[in-house]
């Protein structure tokens, strides 16, 4: 049996998250349920104008459910083919993909956890957080279930207020769950921004210092992932407690 499956995904909804970023919702054509683990990614395949076939990886931004739908959080990359191809898709369009792949998934048993992301690196963390906190019918889970009442922090970095993705959603999750702490930080926030400023790694020590009993899940571009891994190791963390996914 093949270790992964090929699917045709049909775009059902597309919304803008910022000038260059989109939230895309798909459903897998012809299967009733698409099984994956929160944090995994799919490989998408398309043909360039010269006929060359290319594949690119995209993290699933939605939690696993009982149907065949899933979402992506997509950033347009300048001069990139696949990111723009996906962002330009219209509702009803179809694309081939394979998966799910990856072991950037929650490690049991649940511990207090810091999630760190920049930009669309928030995608797999959104999948994990929704899986931890919200069943499909939207009711909050009791504290003795998936998150087990552990303290969870999301430190996510963007440039300006306009670049924060899923802001209202994470604010709502934090308002509904006293053990979820949402810490968006802006490197170029406006004068009116009341929240944290600077890079994500500047805010990680406030949560992680003296805490070698936690897990960290870090996702985004290599430079940021490296900076945060090195920081956590310098704080005495075991490398096995630091899980990460690099986009480049």
Ligand X SMILES: Cc1cc2nc3c(=O)[nH]c(=O)nc-3n(C[C@H](O)[C@H](O)[C@H](O)COP(=O)(O)OP(=O)(O)OC[C@H]3O[C@@H](n4cnc5c(N)ncnc54)[C@H](O)[C@@H]3O)c2cc1C
User: Using CB under 6 A as the criterion, which residues of the chain lie in contact with ligand X when the complex forms?
Assistant: 41, 56-59, 72-75, 77, 79-84, 120, 123, 245, 247-248
Identify each DSSP E strand in the chain by its residue range: 5-18, 21-28, 41-47, 53-59, 69-75, 94-101, 113-118, 152-158, 180-186, 196-197, 215-220, 242-246
The CB-of-228 to ligand X minimum distance in angstroms stands at 17
Rounded to 10 degrees, the C-alpha dihedral 203/206/208/209 comes to: 130
The CB-of-191 to ligand X minimum distance in angstroms stands at 28
Task: Indicate the residue among 121 and 211 with the shorter CB distance to ligand X.
Answer: 121
3-class DSSP assignment, residue 173:
helix
The CB-of-159 to ligand X minimum distance in angstroms stands at 13
Task: Indicate the residue among 55 and 178 with the shorter CB distance to ligand X.
Answer: 55
Distance (Å, rounded) from C-alpha 190 to C-alpha 192? 5
Q: Which residue is nearest to ligand X (CB)?
A: 80
Task: Indicate the residue among 79 and 168 with the shorter CB distance to ligand X.
Answer: 79
Measured distance between the N- and C-terminal CA atoms of the chain, rounded to whole angstroms: 30
Q: How many CB atoms lie within 10 A of CB 223?
A: 11
The CB-of-110 to ligand X minimum distance in angstroms stands at 23
Task: Indicate the residue among 40 and 177 with the shorter CB distance to ligand X.
Answer: 40
Task: Indicate the residue among 113 and 118 with the shorter CB distance to ligand X.
Answer: 118
The CB-of-145 to ligand X minimum distance in angstroms stands at 27
Task: Indicate the residue among 18 and 151 with the shorter CB distance to ligand X.
Answer: 18
State the DSSP code for 71.
E
The CB-of-210 to ligand X minimum distance in angstroms stands at 31
CA-angle at 103, arms to 221 and 210, nearest 5°:
70
């Amino acid at each position: 049996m093949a270790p992964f499956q090929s699917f045709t995904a049909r775009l059902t909804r597309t919304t803008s998250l910022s000038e260059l970023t989109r939230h895309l919702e798909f459903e897998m054509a012809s299967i009733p349920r698409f099984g994956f683990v929160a944090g995994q990614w799919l490989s998408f395949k398309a043909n360039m104008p010269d006929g060359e076939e290319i594949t690119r990886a995209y993290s699933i931004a939605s939690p696993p459910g009982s149907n065949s739908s899933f979402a992506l959080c997509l950033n347009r990359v300048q001069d990139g083919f696949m990111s723009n191809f996906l962002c330009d898709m219209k509702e009803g369009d179809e694309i081939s993909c394979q998966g799910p792949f990856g072991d950037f998934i929650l490690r049991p048993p649940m511990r207090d956890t810091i999630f760190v992301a920049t930009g669309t690196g928030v995608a797999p963390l959104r999948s994990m957080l929704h899986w931890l906190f919200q069943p499909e019918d939207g009711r909050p889970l009791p504290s003795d279930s998936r998150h087990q009442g552990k303290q969870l922090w999301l430190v996510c970095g963007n440039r300006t207020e306009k670049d924060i993705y899923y802001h209202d959603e994470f604010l709502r999750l934090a308002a509904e769950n006293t053990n979820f702490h949402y810490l968006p930080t802006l490197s170029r926030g406006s004068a009116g921004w009341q929240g944290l400023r600077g890079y994500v790694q500047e805010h990680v020590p406030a949560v992680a210092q003296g805490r070698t009993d936690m897990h960290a899940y870090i996702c985004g571009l290599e430079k940021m992932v490296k900076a945060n891994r090195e920081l956590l190791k310098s704080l005495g963390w075991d490398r096995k407690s630091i899980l990460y996914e690099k986009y480049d």
